[in-house]
């Protein structure tokens, strides 16, 4: 069921299912995906007794900014505060959070800075908090830089214009490059691509990929949170990290190096024959990971 609620600076559209007294689980999608990435995962968790919420992130689908004056920011702190505001609006003191890409970043930040709100955490890829100062000056390995071509494209106005004019074609290309072993149909893609017609999609996306390199200003409302994130805080809640063996954008990480960012119970799992869109490509494994982190 799709419904909406006022939460912070947004009117958040979200799907909800499962018993009203079930343990709350928030499933958070990434770029360029939407709530349909979690269709199978949400059904499985709801059937097992969870109360499952799957929101459209800012700039996607039916989620709307409440004021024309609110900056269309895609920065990491804004995404995290959206999750906090949604938890408050839903009356949820604590929940299990799961996400990948943008959604994983939002979930991981909430877990790092407000751990009392998170009973368990599932992340795609690894430690999600951006080190913006380092990204602005320190290059990654050449193979990783090649995978980030789309981010550099967005740094110029040509990229903004390209995304605005060809958002469906562009995002479909990313799906194909990032999940090379996933054979999705036209219908599956189009069901999600409708979410990119949100009038604030382009501005939110462009700000996100500029801000993470220090090329766009903070929304002043989140400056304090960004300052805390600059310290790369550890995540202390029980966490499972999933990674796709065939991910075309995120490289597999060294488990020991990544584990240093996590101070609570921690597990890392590589999913074979899976790319970037983890919950849609491997729903059973993703749902199992969420169940592992239920209280």
Percent of the chain at pLDDT exceeding 90: 98
From residue 54, give the alpha-carbon distance in Å to each of 166, 247, 262, 290. 27, 23, 25, 14
Convert the pLDDT of each residue in 190-202 to its tens digit: 999 999 999 999 9
Q: How far apart are CA 17 and CA 112, in angstroms?
A: 27
Q: Supply the pTM of this predicted model.
A: 0.98
Domain 2-292 in CATH 3.40.920.10? The answer is no
Residue 62 has pLDDT above 90, yes or no: yes
Residue 127 burial (CB count, 10 A): 23
**Secondary structure letter of residue 126 according to DSSP:** S
**Tell me: the pLDDT tens digits for 167-192?**
999 999 999 999 999 999 999 999 99
Domain ranges of the chain: 2-292
What DSSP string describes 136-160? HH----HHHHHHTHHHHHHTSHHHH
């Amino acid at each position: 069921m799709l419904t909406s609620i006022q939460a912070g600076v947004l009117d958040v559209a979200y799907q909800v299912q499962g018993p009203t007294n079930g343990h709350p689980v928030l499933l958070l999608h990434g770029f360029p995906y939407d709530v349909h990435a979690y269709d199978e995962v949400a059904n499985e968790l709801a059937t097992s007794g969870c109360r499952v919420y799957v929101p459209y992130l800012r700039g996607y689908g039916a989620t709307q900014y409440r004021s024309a004056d609110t900056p269309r920011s895609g920065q990491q702190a804004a995404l995290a505060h959206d999750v906090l505001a949604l938890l408050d609006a839903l009356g949820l003191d604590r929940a299990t959070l799961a996400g990948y890409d943008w959604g994983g970043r939002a979930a991981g930040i909430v877990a790092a800075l407000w751990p009392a709100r998170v009973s368990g955490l599932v992340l795609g890829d690894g430690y999600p908090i951006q080190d913006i100062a380092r990204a602005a000056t320190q290059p990654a390995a050449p193979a990783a830089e090649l995978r980030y071509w789309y981010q550099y494209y967005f740094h110029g106005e040509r990229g903004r214009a390209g995304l605005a004019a060809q958002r469906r074609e562009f995002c479909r290309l990313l799906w194909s490059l990032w999940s090379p072993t996933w054979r999705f149909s036209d219908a599956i893609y189009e069901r999600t691509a409708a979410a990119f017609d949100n009038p604030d999609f382009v501005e939110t996306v462009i700000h996100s990929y500029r801000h993470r390199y220090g090329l766009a200003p903070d929304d002043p409302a989140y400056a304090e949170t960004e300052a805390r994130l600059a310290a790369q805080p550890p995540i202390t809640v029980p966490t499972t990290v999933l990674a796709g063996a065939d991910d075309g954008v995120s490289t597999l990480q060294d488990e020991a190096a990544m584990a240093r960012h996590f101070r609570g119970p921690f597990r890392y799992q590589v999913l074979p024959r899976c790319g970037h869109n983890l919950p849609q490509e491997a729903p059973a494994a993703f749902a199992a990971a969420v169940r592992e982190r239920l209280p």
